[in-house]
Copies of this chain bind each other. A is one copy, B any other.
Amino acid sequence: MIDCGEGVQTQMQKMGLSMMNIGHVFISHNHGDHVFGLPGLIGTMDLLGRTSELHVHGPLQVGDFIDYLLKTFYTDIGYNVIFHPVDVHQHALVYEDRSITVHSIPLQHRLPTCGYLFREKPGLPHIRREMIDAFNIPISQINNIKAGASWTTEDGTIIPHERLTTPANPPRSYAYCSDTVYLPHLKDVLNGVTLLYHEATYMHERAPRAEQTRHSTALQAAMQARDAKVEQLCIGHFSASLKDENALLREAQSVFPNTILANEGLVVSI
């Protein structure tokens, strides 16, 4: 889970998602619209009988908030909530498992803030079914071939690995940047990601207001996407003062056409 606003429980229930599948929560910063779902989430997981650890990553202030919640509301829950402080000044590894890595992205907002970059690890190539059949390759050898081996036929002919397989799917990546002023230098960190979520609180005509409140404009989000050569951009975190969110979309698309608007319940396939 990335950030945790008020009502996240209700929203997940509505979407048929289980809270118990959440092992790690990555929080960008300790503003209410990004953390006020945590108090209820922690309690409901306990009511549902959770025993496995819940890991929360974020700037130090988020750890203070969790400490307060645990000692005030949750002295007696049946599982551990473990906080992992993130250094908001570093682009560094925050989490890793067999299939993904998560790195922090240093952002700049009114209080310490970081984004997160999720990268799939490279997968194995796919076996070409017709080659298995053609050369009578036993099932037991398939993992070796996936891992890079060639195959030697009974008459001694070597069939190279490349002929037996098709390349692995290219690893996908997702970058989450909210909330922040526009930081052009991040184009290197964000370079080529499959999907970039970038906040776009204001239209560019309100760039001074964005600067003042440490937010970005739709145009700036799109420039970031363009300069980082990402595949797709999703913008969100729209100012409540805005009458028409589609104006933000049009502004972003004028610079980066493959842009979509974030909306409650939106599912993006990458």
User: Is A10 an interface position by the 8 A CB rule?
Assistant: yes
**Which residues does chain B contribute within 8 Å of A36, judged by CB atoms?**
6, 36, 39-40
User: Is A170 an interface position by the 8 A CB rule?
Assistant: no
User: Is A9 an interface position by the 8 A CB rule?
Assistant: yes
**Which residues does chain B contribute within 8 Å of A40, judged by CB atoms?**
6, 32-33, 36
Within 8 A of B (CB), among A84-102: none
User: Is A31 an interface position by the 8 A CB rule?
Assistant: yes
Bound complex: CA A175 to CA B180 (Å) = 48
User: Is A135 an interface position by the 8 A CB rule?
Assistant: no
**Which residues does chain B contribute within 8 Å of A30, judged by CB atoms?**
72-73
**Which residues does chain B contribute within 8 Å of A79, judged by CB atoms?**
none
B31 touches A73 (CB 8 A): yes
B39 touches A240 (CB 8 A): no
Q: Count copies of this chain in the complex.
A: 2
Instruction: Report the interface size class on chain A.
Output: 20 to 34
Q: Please, what's the 1-or-0 string for A126-168, where 1 marks a CB less than 8 Å from any CB in chain B?
A: 0000000000000000000000000000000000000000000
Q: Could you list which residues of chain A lie within 8 angstroms of chain B, going by C-beta atoms?
A: 6-7, 9-10, 30-33, 36-37, 39-40, 43, 47, 64-65, 68, 72-73, 240
**Which residues does chain B contribute within 8 Å of A39, judged by CB atoms?**
6, 32, 36, 39
B6 touches A47 (CB 8 A): no
**Which residues does chain B contribute within 8 Å of A31, judged by CB atoms?**
73
**Which residues does chain B contribute within 8 Å of A240, judged by CB atoms?**
47
Residue of B10, B65, B68 touching A10 (CB-CB under 8 A): B10
Bound complex: CA A257 to CA B53 (Å) = 47
A-B contact pairs, 22 of them (CB 8 A): A6-B7, A6-B9, A6-B36, A6-B37, A6-B39, A6-B40, A7-B7, A7-B10, A10-B10, A30-B72, A30-B73, A31-B73, A32-B39, A32-B43, A32-B73, A33-B40, A33-B43, A36-B36, A47-B240, A64-B72, A68-B68, A68-B72
Q: A6-B36, A64-B72 known; 4 other A-B pairs, CB under 8 Å? A: A6-B6, A6-B9, A32-B73, A36-B40
**Which residues does chain B contribute within 8 Å of A10, judged by CB atoms?**
6-7, 10
Q: How far is the CB of A193 from chain B (nearest CB, A)?
A: 31
Q: How far is the CB of A240 from chain B (nearest CB, A)?
A: 6
Bound complex: CA A253 to CA B36 (Å) = 38
Q: How far is the CB of A13 from chain B (nearest CB, A)?
A: 11
Bound complex: CA A14 to CA B240 (Å) = 16
Q: How far is the CB of A168 from chain B (nearest CB, A)?
A: 43
